């Protein structure tokens, strides 16, 4: 029984985040998207918890949120991940689109680029040094970020807020 449980736990990230960071056929841009299941929560509950998470995880939610519409269940963010991939401080810029429905949300990361003061802004679709390494690190950052968002939503939904 323990072996089955360990196998399930090890496959969980693959089951949640099955799609890899790859070039989208329609847009021609590197994109990663997936649907994340959240049991027993309405679209509006998930939406509000996502707004809380954004506020806690970005320097300024007001600066990064480009669109937030609770009635249609959509948030669009333009933000960045910090990276030291070229042995200097840089950022992976991205657009994150969050769509919400009852019991689930969909995320789409797109418009990815590397930025540093020495290099400027380099879109992922262009030629760049260490592209495989950048793609792998970015995908890891995306997976970690979306797992944190899911955990935040689930834990805040299950907490007793009767203080």
Q: What is the pLDDT along the chain (163 residues), one digit of tens a residue?
A: 554 444 444 444 444 445 799 999 999 999 999 999 999 999 999 999 999 999 999 888 889 999 999 999 999 999 998 887 767 788 999 999 999 999 999 999 999 999 988 888 889 999 888 888 889 989 999 999 999 999 999 988 776 666 6
Provide the token pair at 51. Answer: 């707004």
23 Cα distance to chain centroid: 17
Q: Under a CB-based contact definition with an 8 Å cutoff, are residues 93 and 122 in contact?
A: no
Residue 131 sits at the vertex; the CA angle it makes with 125 and 132, to the nearest 5 degrees, is 120
Distance of CA 7 to the CA centre of its chain: 25
Percentage helix, strand, coil for the chain under 3-state DSSP, each rounded to 5: 40, 35, 30
- Measure the CA–CA gap between 55 and 157, rounded to whole angstroms: 17
Domains with residue ranges and CATH for the chain: 18-156 (3.30.530.80)
Whole-structure pTM value: 0.83
């Amino acid at each position: 029984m323990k072996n089955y449980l360990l196998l399930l736990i090890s496959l969980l990230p693959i089951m949640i985040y099955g799609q890899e960071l790859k070039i989208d056929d329609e847009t021609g841009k590197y994109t990663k998207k997936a649907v994340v299941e959240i049991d027993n929560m309405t679209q509006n509950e998930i939406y509000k918890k996502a707004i809380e998470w954004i506020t806690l995880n970005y320097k300024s939610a007001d600066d990064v949120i480009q669109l937030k519409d609770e009635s249609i269940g959509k948030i669009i963010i333009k933000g960045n991940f910090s990276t030291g991939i070229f042995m200097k401080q840089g950022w992976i810029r991205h657009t994150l689109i969050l769509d919400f429905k009852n019991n689930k949300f969909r995320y789409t990361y797109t418009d990815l680029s590397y930025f540093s003061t020495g290099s400027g802004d380099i879109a992922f679709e262009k030629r760049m040094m260490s592209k495989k390494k950048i793609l792998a690190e970015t995908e890891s950052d995306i997976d970690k970020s979306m797992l944190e968002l899911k955990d935040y939503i689930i834990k805040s939904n299950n907490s007793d807020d009767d203080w």
